[in-house]
Every structure is written in C-alpha cells, then in structure tokens.
Chains A and B, each alone.
Chain A
C-alpha cells in the first residue's frame, strides 16, 4: 500500500467538495445518479440538496467541458451529436457578497445590478463552454485556432469589448476588467457623496434583461461553430441558496417565459427556492414550468450491490470510495478490508439461541411485552424479521453504553456498513468519514506499523469526533445557530433517553413528526436542519421530489448517531410536541 499518494495525483480523500476538483478529477470520481440523467433534458429544473449532497458536482458535470470527458454512452451521444451544451455558472458566496454589500440600493437598483453582474458572469461562463465546444467540434488545431479568432472577435463586438480581441482568453480578461471598473465607479460615486449611485458606466451592454448577452453569444457561437440548430443549451446556475428572493423571482421569470432552446438547471438547498413568483402576474407552476429534483432522495444513493450476500454498505458509497482510491493513485485499499463488518448493522450468520447472550440482553433491557413476544415467536420464521433483526443493534448499543459509563471509549461504531450509514448518502460526509479513517492508517504507517485494518476503537473515535463536530458547528449558523443547536440537541437527547433509559421495544425512535400546529419558529428550525442534512424528510418513492410543508416525518441525520449514542437505522417516530415537552419536563426536573 502507498503511504502517500503519488506525486502526480492529489489525495482526493482530502477534497470533499466538487468545486475543489479539477475537471479530470471530478469526471474520474463522479458517480452518475438517476437525478443526473434526469437533468440532462430539455426541461427547467430546480435541484434541491442538503449541504454536501453533490449539487455542484451535478451542475458541473452537466457543463460541456466536463460531460465531454465522461466515459458513458449517453454522455458521448449528448456531446458528439450536440444534443446538449451545458454552461456552468457559479453564484458563489463571494460573488453574492459583492451584491449584498450595497444596502443603499433601491429594489430597482438591486435588480439592475444583479442582472448586470449575472449577465457578465454568464458570458464569462459561456466563454469556458465555447472553448470546450471548439475543442470538440472544430477539427485540428489549425481549424480550432481559426474558429477561436473568428468567434472571439464576433463576441467582442457583441459584448462591446475591445475590437482587437482575437482569443477567448483575452475576451475573458477584458470582461473581468469591466467588472473591476464597475465596482470602482460605484465606490467613487459613493465616496463623492452620491448615496444611491446608479452604477452606470462600463459594460453598458450588460445593462439589459437577464441572459440577453449570453443568448446573443450562443447564437453567434452556433453560427460560427456550425452547431446543430436543435442543440439544447443547459444553463446550470449553481449555489442559488446564496441569492435573495428578488433574484430568484427574476430567474423564475425566465423559466416561466418561452426560452427557445435554453433551459435552466438551478441548484439550491431544500427550502431555499425562496419563491415561485415571477416578474409577471403568473407564478411558476411546479410540474408544468419546471420540476424539482430532490437529490437527497435519489434511489441510486441507497441501492445495495446487486447479487451480493450480506452486502456491506450501499453501491453508491462503495463506488465513491473505489473511484477516489483509483483517482488518488492509492493502491490496495479496500473499504471492507479497512473497516470490516459492523456488529451493529450487519446480519449475523446464525440466529439467536434461547440461552445466547443476545437473549439474555433482551430479557435485561426489553419490556415484558417484547420479551413475551420474543419467546412466543422463537423458533418460527417470524423471529428473525420481527425480533432479532430489529433488536440486535439496539441491544448491543444499550449494552455498550452501559459498559462505557465511566470509561472513555467504546468500539461499537465501526464497520463498513456503519461508516457508510453515518454518511447519510451525502458525498461530502462520506468522504469526510473515509478521510478521517484513512488518516488513521496513514498515521500508523508513518509510525512504522503496517495496519490495513482500522481498529473498531479507532473507527468509533473518528466517527464520534465527526459526529460531535457536525452538531457543534451548527451553533454559528447564520441567524439561528444557537436555537438550531438546542433544537437538534433536544431531539437527539430525547431519542437517547428513549433508547438507553427505558425498556426497549422492537422499534427505536429515530424520527420526529411535524404537524400543522408547529410554530413558525420550530418549522424554520426544521427547514434549516433539512438544509444542513441534519434532518431528512421521510418521503415515499412516489413523491420523492416534494419537500414536506409544515407537515411530515423527519429522521435525525445518521451522522449524529455516534454523538447521541443512537442506532443509525430508520425506526419509529414521535411528535415534535411530545419531544419538546419531554425536554421541558426534564429541565424542570433538573431545577427541582
């Protein structure tokens, strides 16, 4: 095994974000899901996904420069037959930060400035796409150079840039200069006493309706590069959660209007498509004007490996692991070898015997009703699905918790299935878990010890640390950090008490139920927790893109299971009111 990645390849387990991968790395490590293929279509979509769920990877992979490298038949035909030409337009925090730092703007000015900046940014993004198109469609290098000169000068003319421009890179730099100048002009007029500067100045061609300059560029490019007239342009607007409602309204207006051969793919966090309103009287109609795609519920994320007995973890997570290993130039690391089986989650080869340790635990920790039922079903085919499989993990956890009291460490949170389960099918979280665990191997190798298997104790230590960190960092979340932390802690503590301080039944509580009576304040906290992937809506396959609205069942993210000493498995639910009331009662008891 390599103790360090090859010098030519980065250790991709240290990079948990698609934005941080170069195009080749992203393509090599990308695991296409059903959602991805749904997006490769002539329809407007708003992609919803918790933080770290892979929205940026999807949006980037739709772009021409990435899709052209993907080794897949559908991707090949999309590129070779010029079916889809994707443009990736990020709206990062830093970019939005320069929109929001002008609180003096009127609503109209705000809209105008947003449109100006997004027009310029989308043209810059289009340049990158066109470079890829030239590489794909314009023959040899000589032809490509001629095509670029021709296209660059036409675009420069259309975007009112310097007429001498003859490369796309020079055009890019020119547009970047235009933006610097714009900011300077605004700063100057503010400094000289104009409290509400108009921002007029350079780049006036971008002072128009949104996407007009980009569409003009697309038309010119289609002609210059002889693209097929029926080609579909996909404009992927990434990280729209950082934008404001007014910006979403403007973008919605474009999804509502006839857009010819241009379709929008807007990525944002759940509950962060802030409005359905448009700039006309008619709001967006979900299902007609556009579709939501909730990527956290993509069935591909949860599918097991086909034909494998006692499969360890999901196919998606294992593929993600293997692709990262391969692209990092690491050798001989197998997830199963490194992490082993999970005593909590994996089925045991043999079922319990009447005098087994498990049966003793059942008698010790379960309610009388459950014990009676277990004894009644013992020996029947129902025993395994209704008793042992349901209780096995909970009993071991309860025992481990009892044993661990007063001692520092347990080893219960270990094994491939468990590590993957605690990743909540969230790529960033999975990679973070893998990286934390692989570091243990690398550290031990640096100490001169060859240890391909990470001990269960080390695994538990890493998962508990990451779990606690996922919760504690919530405290600084904008606007409601402290409240959200207290809210999640209350839910987790309630589930902990239900598991460890009362008699067990075959169902452990892992979800909360929200009903229409939920207060505005608590509903906001539920939404924020879903945004962060710390609560997940329990939604069925029929309505997997519909986010529950003030009503529904939400399970606590499995990432928090090690922190609260819970079993990361779907179980029973309790109403939020009951949970919060119980916390209140517990607080009162403490005071007494």
Chain B
C-alpha cells in the first residue's frame, strides 16, 4: 500500500519545516501566491514553479510569474493542466543533480489535480527513496456568488487512479459536489452507476457554502439513484475526508466497480485521489471543463494542510 499515512497538520507548524523541494503553481487566481508569501525561502532547498498554459498572457498571471521569478528565483515551467509529466521530469532532474527529495511541500491552492497526482505517482514509483513525506497545503478561497455554467470538455481517469477492469458487476459512484450542479448531473448521466453517494464540504470555506452547494445541486440530489443522506465532510480536515471515503468504499471493494468523481473543493479532490491510490480497484475521474470567463478566487486567509507519507511501490519481478 503506497499511501502509508494521511495526517492533518497546522500550516503554522509547517512554516518552519525544512523542505528538500517545494512545488508551486502560477496561475490566474490571486491565491496562487498567498502561501508562497508566507514561507521562508531559506527553509526550502529547491523550488519548482509550474505555470498554466492557459491564460498565460493575462495581467494577473504576469504579476504572479514575476513574483515567482523575483522571490523564488524560479521561472515557471509551462504545462497544460492535463500534463503530469512536466512536474515528474522536474523532480527527476533534481534527483539527477543529486538533490534530496525526501520531504516535499506542495501548494495545491491553484494547481491542476493532475500535477499533484503526478507528484504522488512520482513518489509511488519514481523517487529514489523508499518513503517520501509530502505536505500539501491549500489556501481557502472566496468564490463569487454567481458561477457561469461549467461546460465539460472531457472525463478521464486520473493517472494512477484507473481502477479495475470493468465487468458487468454493480457499480457505485461517489460524487463530491461543488458549485456546478448541471455538470455533476451530466457526468452522472454518463456514468449510469447503480448506486450513487454524494458528499459535500461541510463545514465549508464559508458558513453558507453547504447550503449553496445543496441548492445548486438540487436536481442531482433528487435523482432517484442518489442516496438521500448526503455525506458532510469537513473541508478543513483532509484526514477525516480520506478516512470517511475509505470507510465508504471498503465494503464495496472486490464486488462493485467504484468510481470517485470529486467535483468540489481541492482538499476533497486530494482526499479522493489518495483513496483511489490506496485501493487500486477504485477509480478516480477528472472532469475537465471550461467556463465562459475564468473565476476570480481570492484567498480568505485560511490554510488547510495535510501530511501524506508515500511508500514506494515495489517493482514486480
């Protein structure tokens, strides 16, 4: 089992930890620099910055790129949100130069899920050391009240989270709901699972968050196959979310095909990816989407942090 330990921690405690590598993302959202600004560059041996390929010419993005160049001496390495190879290559480069990679900090506040799942896969299969400690940090954000509808572009399994060979057994889908009710419904129609569980972040980033999610997902929650009791998992505890989801899938392993579809906030996406990596029969889907205009997400000042200890998967002889 490669996901050995998942433990919540306090960001204030992490600020003083010495890291071998720190991975940041430069994007459109203001919160991509919120956590880096709170870190001491002297505590970090090597920093990696990955820049989103999209919206690279926008003013906020240029400001963020400049910040990383000036303060972290790192030119963002451009990658599309669907490319996990860039981050893995950069980590391999550090190893090739003799750098240490035992302790890594990842700011996933405004990072593609494929990048942080790529880091986890790299620790599972690529890192030279047997055990990697990765601290994931996430700056909570303030979302606009009105969201433009999300138009789905593609639905693929997250690499390393493919699940098992599918057969005609019963299928179970577990949806993490966010502000895109119609998109969740659209995915549900395609997945056509026998049983559907839904979970939401509660308590969420703000007190009104759970109710907003319920309202925006009213049609989804009224679908007959969706279990009526919606799981409420705290946004601020990835450990709790991971544990609950693990308990939820455990009785269904080996007999049902299980698919996680996290469409809510990132801490819950991370928890879903970790569950899928822990149980190879469980797949985790990534629903990529576009919006008419990018969302402006400002940090609300809070940071969620979790420590994940990853053990390298032995290669089969």
Point out residues on A near B: beta carbons under 8 Å.
13-17, 19-20, 22, 51, 56, 60, 88, 90, 92-95, 97-98, 100-104, 117, 120-121, 124-125, 128, 172, 175-176, 179-181, 183-185, 187-188, 190-193, 195, 202, 242, 432, 435, 469, 472-473, 475-482
Q: Is the CB of B186 within 8 A of A476?
A: yes
Contacts of B125 in A (CB 8 A): 184, 187-188, 190-192
Flag whether B33 is at the interface (Cβ < 8 A). no
Closest 5 pairs (CB-CB, A-B): A191-B126, A14-B224, A98-B162, A188-B125, A191-B125
B216 to A: closest C-beta gap in Å: 12
Q: Which residue of A lies closest to B152 (CB)?
A: A478
Listed A/B pairs (27) with beta-carbon separation below 8 Å:
A13-B224, A15-B194, A15-B224, A16-B224, A20-B193, A51-B189, A88-B168, A90-B166, A92-B192, A93-B155, A93-B285, A94-B166, A94-B171, A97-B155, A98-B283, A101-B157, A101-B159, A117-B165, A128-B167, A187-B159, A188-B126, A191-B122, A435-B224, A472-B182, A473-B186, A478-B154, A481-B186
**Which single member of B121, B152, B183 contacts A187 (CB below 8 Å)?**
B121
Report how far A117 CA is from B167 CA in the complex, Å: 12
Report how far A104 CA is from B125 CA in the complex, Å: 18
Q: Is the CB of B165 within 8 A of A121?
A: yes
Which one of B122, B159, B315, B316 has the highest number of Cβ atoms from chain A below 10 Å of its Cβ?
Answer: B159
The segment from B24-32, B82-90, B207-215, B264-272 found at the interface with A is B82-90
**Which single member of B157, B182, B224, B281 contacts A98 (CB below 8 Å)?**
B157
**Which single member of B84, B152, B168 contacts A90 (CB below 8 Å)?**
B168
Report how far A95 CA is from B169 CA in the complex, Å: 13
Flag whether B280 is at the interface (Cβ < 8 A). yes
Interface string of B192-205 (1 = CB under 8 A from A): 11100000000000
Report how far A479 CA is from B183 CA in the complex, Å: 12
Report how far A481 CA is from B291 CA in the complex, Å: 11
Interface range on chain B (Cβ under 8 Å from partner): 35 or more
Report how far A56 CA is from B168 CA in the complex, Å: 11
Q: Is the CB of B283 within 8 A of A15?
A: no
**Which single member of B83, B158, B166, B225 contacts A92 (CB below 8 Å)?**
B166
Q: Which residue of B lies closest to A196 (CB)?
A: B85
Contacts of B170 in A (CB 8 A): 20, 22
Report how far A60 CA is from B192 CA in the complex, Å: 15
Flag whether B311 is at the interface (Cβ < 8 A). no
Q: Is the CB of A100 within 8 A of B165?
A: no
> Would A179 and B85 be within 8 Å (CB), given that A97-B285, A475-B151 are in contact?
no
Contacts of A192 in B (CB 8 A): 92, 125-126
Contacts of B89 in A (CB 8 A): 193, 195
Report how far A153 CA is from B280 CA in the complex, Å: 27
Contacts of A102 in B (CB 8 A): 159
Report how far A315 CA is from B273 CA in the complex, Å: 48
Contacts of B168 in A (CB 8 A): 60, 88, 90, 125, 128
Report how far A93 CA is from B188 CA in the complex, Å: 11
Report how far A117 CA is from B219 CA in the complex, Å: 35
CB within 8 Å of A: which of B82-103?
Answer: 82-85, 88-89, 92
Report how far A476 CA is from B193 CA in the complex, Å: 19
Q: Is the CB of B182 within 8 A of A482?
A: no
Contacts of B156 in A (CB 8 A): 97-98, 100-101
A248 to B: closest C-beta gap in Å: 18
**Which single member of A124, A181, A473 contacts B316 (CB below 8 Å)?**
A181
Q: Is the interface of A mostly helix, strand, loop or mixed?
A: helix
Contacts of A92 in B (CB 8 A): 166, 171, 191-192
Q: Is the CB of A477 within 8 A of B167?
A: no
Flag whether B301 is at the interface (Cβ < 8 A). no
**Which single member of A124, A432, A473 contacts B167 (CB below 8 Å)?**
A124
> Would A20 and B192 be within 8 Å (CB), given that A94-B259, A97-B283, A191-B88 are in contact?
yes
Q: Is the CB of B151 within 8 A of A477?
A: yes
Contacts of B166 in A (CB 8 A): 90, 92, 94-95, 121
B295 to A: closest C-beta gap in Å: 16
Q: Which residue of A lies closest to B84 (CB)?
A: A190
Q: Is the CB of B219 within 8 A of A473?
A: yes
A83 to B: closest C-beta gap in Å: 22
Report how far A22 CA is from B170 CA in the complex, Å: 8
> Would A482 and B155 be within 8 Å (CB), given that A92-B166, A101-B162 are in contact?
no
Which one of B150, B168, B224 has the highest number of Cβ atoms from chain A below 10 Å of its Cβ?
Answer: B168
Which one of B84, B149, B156 has the highest number of Cβ atoms from chain A below 10 Å of its Cβ?
Answer: B156
Q: Which residue of B lies closest to A469 (CB)?
A: B219
B122 to A: closest C-beta gap in Å: 5
**Which single member of B158, B194, B281 contacts A20 (CB below 8 Å)?**
B194
Additional 18 contacts, C-beta under 8 A, given A92-B191, A187-B159, A476-B185: A14-B224, A88-B168, A90-B168, A94-B171, A94-B257, A95-B165, A97-B155, A101-B286, A183-B280, A191-B127, A193-B126, A473-B185, A475-B182, A476-B149, A476-B289, A477-B186, A478-B153, A481-B182
Flag whether B160 is at the interface (Cβ < 8 A). yes
Q: Is the CB of B149 within 8 A of A176?
A: no
Report how far A480 CA is from B83 CA in the complex, Å: 23
Which one of A97, A180, A477 has the highest number of Cβ atoms from chain B below 10 Å of its Cβ?
Answer: A97
**Which single member of B85, B162, B165 contacts A175 (CB below 8 Å)?**
B165
**Which single member of B152, B159, B219, B259 contacts A190 (CB below 8 Å)?**
B159
Q: Is the CB of B191 within 8 A of A473?
A: no
Q: Is the CB of B82 within 8 A of A476?
A: no
Flag whether B71 is at the interface (Cβ < 8 A). no
A62 to B: closest C-beta gap in Å: 13
Report how far A92 CA is from B224 CA in the complex, Å: 21
Contacts of A481 in B (CB 8 A): 149, 151-152, 182, 186
**Which single member of B171, B182, B259, B286 contacts A473 (CB below 8 Å)?**
B182
Q: Is the CB of B88 within 8 A of A476?
A: no
B73 to A: closest C-beta gap in Å: 24
Contacts of B224 in A (CB 8 A): 13-16, 432, 435
Q: Which residue of A lies closest to B159 (CB)?
A: A101
Report how far A14 CA is from B289 CA in the complex, Å: 30
Q: Which residue of B lies closest to A127 (CB)?
A: B167
Q: Is the CB of B152 within 8 A of A476?
A: yes
A307 to B: closest C-beta gap in Å: 35
Flag whether B74 is at the interface (Cβ < 8 A). no
Which one of A51, A95, A128, A432 has the highest number of Cβ atoms from chain B below 10 Å of its Cβ?
Answer: A95
Flag whether B240 is at the interface (Cβ < 8 A). no
Q: Is the CB of B150 within 8 A of A476?
A: yes
A465 to B: closest C-beta gap in Å: 9
Q: Is the CB of B162 within 8 A of A183?
A: yes
Q: Is the CB of B88 within 8 A of A479?
A: no
**Which single member of B126, B171, B190, B225 contacts A15 (CB below 8 Å)?**
B225
**Which single member of B121, B157, B182 contacts A476 (CB below 8 Å)?**
B182
Report how far A13 CA is from B162 CA in the complex, Å: 32
CB within 8 Å of A: which of B116-154?
Answer: 121-122, 124-127, 149-154
**Which single member of A16, A187, A479 contacts B160 (CB below 8 Å)?**
A187
Q: Which residue of B lies closest to A22 (CB)?
A: B170
> Would A191 and B121 be within 8 Å (CB), given that A19-B194, A181-B316, A475-B182 are in contact?
yes
Contacts of B83 in A (CB 8 A): 103
